[in-house]
Structure 1
Amino acid sequence: MANEKKGKKISNVVLFPNLPARLLEKGMSSLKAKQFKESLSCFLQLLEIEPGHSQGHLGVVLSLIELGQLQEAKIRADKMLKEGIGEYFDVLQIYLSVLIQLSEYESVVSVVEAVLEEHQLPAAQAESFYQLLHFSRKMTDDSEPPIDLSPEPHQDRSKEIETLRNMMTSGEIHNQWIAMQQLSYMNPEDTIAVYREFLENEEGNPGIKTMALNYLKSKDIQETVTLHKFGNIYSINIQELHDVYEDPFNLEVKKELEDRLEQDNPTLTEFAVTIWWDYILAIYPQVPEPADSHYWARALQCAAGKLSGMDTCDALESEIEIHPESLEKAVEQLLDIERFTFGPNKFQGY
């Protein structure tokens, strides 16, 4: 009887071969929807099934950060670095951002100095680390006490804000992301000028600009700001912003992708959906054209295949309702955004 029960237990697991991919997709969707307790639960369940799943570990860390459990996030990120889980520099950037939020600037200095000493970095990446090193050293100068980032309006944070302003305009996505994380812990009345400047700056990362707009809306900022993206200038009323993750057309494309791919290739489906949200975040307030979910689902399938090293485009081009050159143009738009706007870290666009 015991063996029989054991067999049933095993067969139950076999019935859900795509469970890890589904937990990953649900966890990422929950992150983007700011349902952080749910995302943490999904990623922890994923790690119970696949203890070495790098995106599962990263998802846990990001969920803990959003829930304010910074010490636990620090411990887990440090473990990922020591055990070689995930892309080293992606995990390192998140680990450093947690140290900064904890005001552990001396630790940031020692980690960054070690990285610069041990690794031969490309010039652009090295510059980003040198800027972060400069910022952390400034925070430890003159034996100043740790910085309290609680949102109290009467504290003078002009020094910190000026340093974060420089990071926001540095041209490096990692510095912009870390700076925005820090600014979010300060009183919005003290930092709104930094956000205005960042949104107006032609060089600011377009995905992070959308995240900044969403942050300002969450703080009930009653302003109209100027937004510069891809050579276009927009006047944005913050309170009139719509949630890209609840937009009917965006959800229609997501459903089309899932209907087309999920049964045969859930991993490719998850990747394609991530590319879609990255694209939508980057181009906001523009909307995808044409407004054809079938068209974009095919383009996303092709783009995800290219980035995954799979050839999924030829079969799509044979579908006569879509002109191959038009499809190719859409694929290149998606790839450009993914490669140059968001880079390899799939979580940065949530």
Structure 2
Amino acid sequence: MDKQKGKIIHFPKLKERLVEKGLERLQAKKYKEALSLLQEAYELDSTDADVELGIVLCLLELGKLEQAKERCYKILQEGKGDYFQILQIYLSILIHLQQYEEVIMTIQAVLEESDNMDPAFRQNLINLLHFSTKMSDQTSIDIKREEATRLVQLLLQSDDTTEHMNIIKQLEKEDIDSVLPILKQYLADEKNNPLTKTMILQLLISKRISERIVVKKFGDTLTIIPSELDENMQSDFASEVLHILEKQLGIESPSLYNLAESIWLRYLYILYPFIPKSEANRQWAAVLHITACKYQGVKINKKNIAELYGVSYEQIQPLCQSIWEIEEISRF
């Protein structure tokens, strides 16, 4: 240090000696020592592309990939050194980081802008572009599968039907192939929530799942193929019952009819994919009339209501119990 002028006096050719030692350490795979020496050299001369490239290689070998990426990108932007050599290193860093979208964008830009490129190097870039596109697609699929697995685990851990609804809504956007075996197990377990089972079935239908699925609800078992389910069967039966009910209750009390209709549609939704016996449509109309009155606190003679539909109260008692049990389930 020159105390009078306050300046640092460097040894002659200090930078060259640091670079030489740094590159020797790099070749000897002593990357930490090499990095320290090359960084000292860079502080003396920040314009030397070889020094910067040496630093990038050290960072890469030390696993400091993000730092290596940033430094290499800076060299490319400043136009230092052998552009195509540095580009190759930059692309290899991106691949190490599995940042395939950036690889794709970089190669596409280079292919569009560079006319004077060695044909062999151009072909290498094209091959790398194809590889990165394939890996990008696969990475996207893997991410969706991981998210689907996470969501299904949340579903299994929760007893909250509202949360189940939100989770299944999110699963609509994901690839569910990897979690299909878990969903199938859920549907086949009698103990699981029947409302959630219906929501899962709707999901499988929307995904056009063509595998055989066993569904257990309310002591019954059914094997179905979601992509082949005919929802019109249940819809036709539902309409028949409502038509009978409307003739009687729709005129007497439109508000009660609307309530009965809601109860009926909820019942069928939770029962799905099972369908009530179609020959019992008048019985079900009577049950819905009675249930709607019970909900509203309307005092009625149940036997008289049954007779309005040409059935006996004894016939519909089990159905009344069934629909009330499912109403309890639907309150979430």
TM-score normalised by the chain length of structure 2: 0.52
Letter in 2 for 1:332: Q
Do structure 1's residue 327 and structure 2's residue 316 form an aligned pair?
A: yes
Residue 217 of structure 2 is matched in structure 1 by 229
> Residue 285 of structure 2 contacts residue 309 of structure 2 at CA under 8 Å; is this kept in 1?
no
Distance 2:232 2:326 in 1: 17
Change in CA separation of 1:313 and 1:265 when aligned onto 2, cut-off 3 Å: same
Q: Secondary structure at the match of 1:263?
A: helix
Gaps of 5+ in 1: 1-150, 346-350
Q: Secondary structure at the match of 1:262?
A: helix
CA deviations 1:107-127 (Å, max 9, x no partner) are xxxxxxxxxxxxxxxxxxxxx
Change in CA separation of 1:256 and 1:193 when aligned onto 2, cut-off 3 Å: same
Q: How does 1:307-346 map to 2 (within 5 A)?
A: 307-314=295-302, 315-319=304-308, 321-339=310-328, 341-343=329-331
Distance 1:288 1:328 in 2: 15
Residue 274 of structure 1 is matched in structure 2 by 262
Distance 1:306 1:244 in 2: 30
Distance 1:246 1:184 in 2: 24
User: What is the aligned-residue identity percentage?
Assistant: 24
Residue 205 of structure 1 is matched in structure 2 by 193
**Which of 165, 181, 198 is the equivalent residue of 2:169?**
181
> Residue 227 of structure 1 contacts residue 235 of structure 1 at CA under 8 Å; is this kept in 2?
yes
Q: Secondary structure at the match of 1:292?
A: helix
Cα RMSD (Å): 2.7
Change in CA separation of 1:160 and 1:221 when aligned onto 2, cut-off 3 Å: closer
Do structure 1's residue 217 and structure 2's residue 201 form an aligned pair?
A: no
How many residues matched? 193
> Residue 213 of structure 2 contacts residue 225 of structure 2 at CA under 8 Å; is this kept in 1?
yes
Gaps of 5+ in 2: 1-138
> Residue 205 of structure 2 contacts residue 227 of structure 2 at CA under 8 Å; is this kept in 1?
yes
Distance 1:160 1:251 in 2: 36
Q: How does 1:1-350 map to 2 (within 5 A)?
A: 152-155=140-143, 157-158=145-146, 161-168=149-156, 170-243=158-231, 247-289=235-277, 291-314=279-302, 315-319=304-308, 321-339=310-328, 341-343=329-331
> Residue 202 of structure 1 contacts residue 228 of structure 1 at CA under 8 Å; is this kept in 2?
yes
Q: Rg larger in 1 or in 2?
A: 2
> Residue 227 of structure 1 contacts residue 233 of structure 1 at CA under 8 Å; is this kept in 2?
yes
> Residue 317 of structure 1 contacts residue 323 of structure 1 at CA under 8 Å; is this kept in 2?
yes
Distance 1:232 1:167 in 2: 23
Letter in 2 for 1:326: Q
Q: How much does 1:318 deviate?
A: 4.5
Change in CA separation of 1:233 and 1:165 when aligned onto 2, cut-off 3 Å: farther
Change in CA separation of 1:313 and 1:199 when aligned onto 2, cut-off 3 Å: farther
TM-score normalised by the chain length of structure 1: 0.49
Give 1 or 2: higher helix fraction: 2
Distance 2:309 2:264 in 1: 23
Distance 1:219 1:288 in 2: 26
Q: Secondary structure at the match of 2:317?
A: helix
